[in-house]
Amino acid sequence: MTRGIDYGNLMHQAMRGLIREVMIRTAEQGLPGAHHFFITLNTQYPGVEMADWLKARYPDEITIVIQHWFENLAVDEQGFAVTLNFGNQPEPLYIPFDAISTFVDPSVEFGLKFETHVDEDDDEDEDDEEAPMLHSVPEAPKAGEVVSLDKFRK
């Protein structure tokens, strides 16, 4: 028997689908205009593939930038592969969409942040649940800063 509609999980899936569609369009058409992405991800998430030296340098989290130089962007159902430049050294990465904690395109003041919440009232499911939160990036954002839309609500 179900407990009801899991809106948090449905939003999670929808927002990951949005990121997937953006990445597909970028792979097919490149980045239009001033668009670029700051993507923060959990480097320990199952399925993340990156060089050992990069994982050692960023053992928990890394923010990558897809802007001027990237190659071999390929998207599948679960994530995307891309080659990025780290210190003049091209490195291939594979990033599952579920490993992403923030996705920001500051050129249009758009950002998504996926926050992990523990449901203390639920004795049946002790796992953390991720609930996506829509965020807006202010006009003059600090690098990597994501501002909650709740700040703008009355």
Note the pLDDT tens digit of each residue in 57-100. 999 999 999 998 899 999 999 999 999 998 888 999 999 999 99
Q: Please check whether residue 149 lies inside any domain of the structure.
A: no
CA angle 48, 13, 72 (to 5 degrees): 40
Q: Please check whether residue 148 lies inside any domain of the structure.
A: no
Number of domains in the chain: 1
Other beta carbons within 10 Å of 50: 20
The residue behind tokens 């600090």 is 142
Q: Are 94 and 75 in contact (CB under 8 A)?
A: no
Please, what sign has the CA dihedral across residues 88, 24, 108, 152? Answer: negative
Q: Please check whether residue 154 lies inside any domain of the structure.
A: no
pTM of structure: 0.73
The answer for residues whose C-beta is within 8 angstroms of residue 73's C-beta and 6 or more apart is: 23, 26, 27, 66, 80, 81, 82
Q: What is the CATH number of the domain that holds 110?
A: 2.30.30.220
Largest CA distance in the chain: 55
Q: Are 89 and 97 in contact (CB under 8 A)?
A: no
Q: Please check whether residue 147 lies inside any domain of the structure.
A: no
Note the pLDDT tens digit of each residue in 25-49. 999 999 989 999 999 999 999 999 9
Q: What domain range includes position 124?
A: 7-95+104-140
**85 vs 120, residue with greater confidence:** 85
Other beta carbons within 10 Å of 100: 21
The residue behind tokens 């899991």 is 6
